[in-house]
Amino acid sequence: MNKELAQYINTLLAEKQREVLSKQAYLDKIDENFERHFTEYQEIEYQLGMVYKAQKAMDYIIEEEN
Per residue in 8-44, pLDDT (tens digit) is 999 999 999 999 999 888 887 776 666 777 888 899 9
Per residue in 35-54, pLDDT (tens digit) is 777 888 899 999 999 999 99
pTM, rounded to two decimals: 0.76
How is 5-65 classified by DSSP, letter by letter?
Answer: HHHHHHHHHHHHHHHHHHHHHHHHH----HHHHHHHHHHHHHHHHHHHHHHHHHHHHHHHH
Q: Give the C-alpha separation, 28 to 39, whole Å.
A: 13
